Structure 1
Amino acid sequence: MAKKMKSADDFIHHLYIHMNDVDQFVIYSGLSLRQFFSSIEPMKNILLLKHNYEDGSFNMHTQFDYIATEDMTPFLKRLPDIKGDFCWIDFSSEKNVNQLSPVEQAELLYFGHKREPLASPFFSKLQNRYAYYASPNDKMTKVYFRFLGDSELLTANLFNKMIHEKEGTGGFWRRKSKQAIPTIDPIVLRACRHFVKEGALLSLFKMEKSSQYGIEIRTLSDYNFPDEVWVDLNEILKQNYDELIKIS
């Protein structure tokens, strides 16, 4: 009997990734703002460059709104309510923000408008680890990483959290210990970086008759706009995958 072809709904999650390792940014599609924040290390503060969030603090020097450490928890709770384009950069302290020169402030404005930096997206005064721009209409999130390896850590944490949630369902006696839940190491994803540098779809699923999970990787070098991937998703999934990562 021929093996049944999986459709989009047979997978737990699909994530499109296109990495530019020269300019140190990654374009994602299928990554929400909430998922991003839950998959990275907690940040101290973020400077809001383009947003419609109304409860942030205001920095007089730059005239940018920002989210301070003590306000991060209520901000994270409000993430699903945030609509429209959202652009920010993290920073260590407001004291350092107050030292930004007019040129540096202009560079931040440029990034919020053009989705790309005028010079470097990383500021020594801010000590930022990320520069983030999301456009829901384009179904696209663009993240500049000071340490590009953080991109694989983000993807691993995202998928591991989804696996943990799926394995955690059911009654008490059906719950698995944390040690028994399958996890993927970021190093495994880093070994597949050559795929995402071309643009690739990563599809997470649970293997049949097994406690293992898998990630099918399909290279999508012909797609220039991430939103097109979701229009053609079922057709894409009919193609043979380029790599299968088994998670146990």
Structure 2
Amino acid sequence: MAKKERDIDDYLAHLYVHTNEIEHFALFSGISVQQFLKFTDLPFLLLLKHRYEDSSFNMHTQMEFIGKNQYAHFLKEMTEKSFSLCLLDFSDERKLNMLTPQEQAELLYIAHKKEAFRSPFYHHLQNRFVYMTDEEQHITKIYFRDHEDFYYLIADWFNQQIKDKTKSTAFWRKKNNVILPELSSTTVERYTDFYEDGVIMSLFRSDKTNYGIEIRCLPENIFPDEVLEDIKHHIKRPYDFIIEV
């Protein structure tokens, strides 16, 4: 069957994904810090790089942090001011007091270089993620302790897109029992090998109740932070795979 060609307006959202399983991180374009925090439900965030003015201060590390009750205000500031960000989650402020000078130095290195020279997951902190993004959120880098969270994040991102698009285009149906299609993390995992080379995942609506995701593998010489800016160019290529949702 011939592949149906779509115009740029036929797509609802695009997500760039490029994984590095050896070093436990992925690069994204299209995921915002708001979407990330909504997905993760983390108790505390250690702010390694930021310009947020209402954070709390830990005397031992001389680093700033926020708790869950501050997230809404933090995200509002992030939206209004747009600043580069590097953060990681932790379970309890008392655990910050157990970080060694070496571990504190490693955290500063991560914030400065946007990379880790050894595993960025610390026993005392029990952090699941390290999250960093540039000022305009063109490119986001996330370290995952558990790679399963990577699959769940992508599935959750697309499911939220579908939910939002359905709300905005079918308000008249909201009183009906509309069952939205849902992308599973298991389906996302099937394409693991392709994420390592970098892909664009493009969401479209196939009919009133069904959606699909086109996956296009990208050449090695692209700049990740420019992928979505050049999306019209990339989607001219035939898709390599398609996921029915």
Same fold at TM > 0.5: yes
How far apart in 1 are the matches of 2:165 and 2:230? 27
How far apart in 2 are the matches of 1:43 and 1:78? 19
Contact 1:49 1:88 (C-alpha < 8 Å) held by counterparts:
yes
Matches within 5 A, 1:12-91: 12-38=12-38, 40-91=39-90
Deviation at 1:137, TM superposition (A): 4.8
Partner in structure 1 of residue 231 of structure 2: 233
Contact 1:100 1:125 (C-alpha < 8 Å) held by counterparts:
yes
Partner in structure 1 of residue 138 of structure 2: 139
Partner in structure 2 of residue 95 of structure 1: 94
How far apart in 1 are the matches of 2:71 and 2:171? 33
Partner in structure 2 of residue 9 of structure 1: 9
Contact 1:90 1:128 (C-alpha < 8 Å) held by counterparts:
yes
Matches within 5 A, 1:108-123: 108-123=107-122
TM-score (norm 1): 0.91
Q: Using the TM superposition, name which of 79-88 and 50-59 deviates more.
A: 79-88
Q: SS of 2:118's equivalent?
A: coil
How far apart in 2 are the matches of 1:43 and 1:240? 39
Specify the code of the residue in structure 2 equivalent to 1:221: P
Contact 1:168 1:175 (C-alpha < 8 Å) held by counterparts:
no
Change (3 A) 1:146 1:54: same
How far apart in 2 are the matches of 1:101 and 1:196? 35
Q: SS of 2:227's equivalent?
A: helix
Contact 1:167 1:175 (C-alpha < 8 Å) held by counterparts:
no
Specify the code of the residue in structure 1 equivalent to 2:225: D
Change (3 A) 1:204 1:235: same
Deviation at 1:175, TM superposition (A): 4.7
Residue 182 (structure 2) pairs with residue 183 (structure 1)? yes
Change (3 A) 1:182 1:176: farther
Q: Deviations over 1:209-228 (max 9, x none)?
A: 45210000000132442123
Q: Deviations over 1:197-238 (max 9, x none)?
A: 11000001111x452100000001324421232343212111
Contact 1:168 1:176 (C-alpha < 8 Å) held by counterparts:
no
Contact 2:46 2:89 (C-alpha < 8 Å) held by counterparts:
yes
Deviation at 1:119, TM superposition (A): 1.6
Partner in structure 1 of residue 195 of structure 2: 196
Partner in structure 1 of residue 106 of structure 2: 107
What root-mean-square deviation, in Å, do the aligned CA atoms of Structure 1 and Structure 2 show? 2.0
How far apart in 1 are the matches of 2:11 and 2:142? 25
Specify the code of the residue in structure 2 equivalent to 1:229: V
How far apart in 2 are the matches of 1:77 and 1:176? 33
How many residues are matched? 243
Change (3 A) 1:25 1:176: farther
How far apart in 1 are the matches of 2:13 and 2:163? 13
Q: SS of 1:127's equivalent?
A: coil
Q: SS of 1:17's equivalent?
A: strand
TM-score (norm 2): 0.92
Q: Runs of 4+ in structure 1 displaced over 6 angstroms? A: none
Q: Between the two proteins, what is the percent identity of the paired residues?
A: 40
Q: Using the TM superposition, name which of 231-240 and 92-101 deviates more.
A: 231-240
Contact 1:223 1:229 (C-alpha < 8 Å) held by counterparts:
no
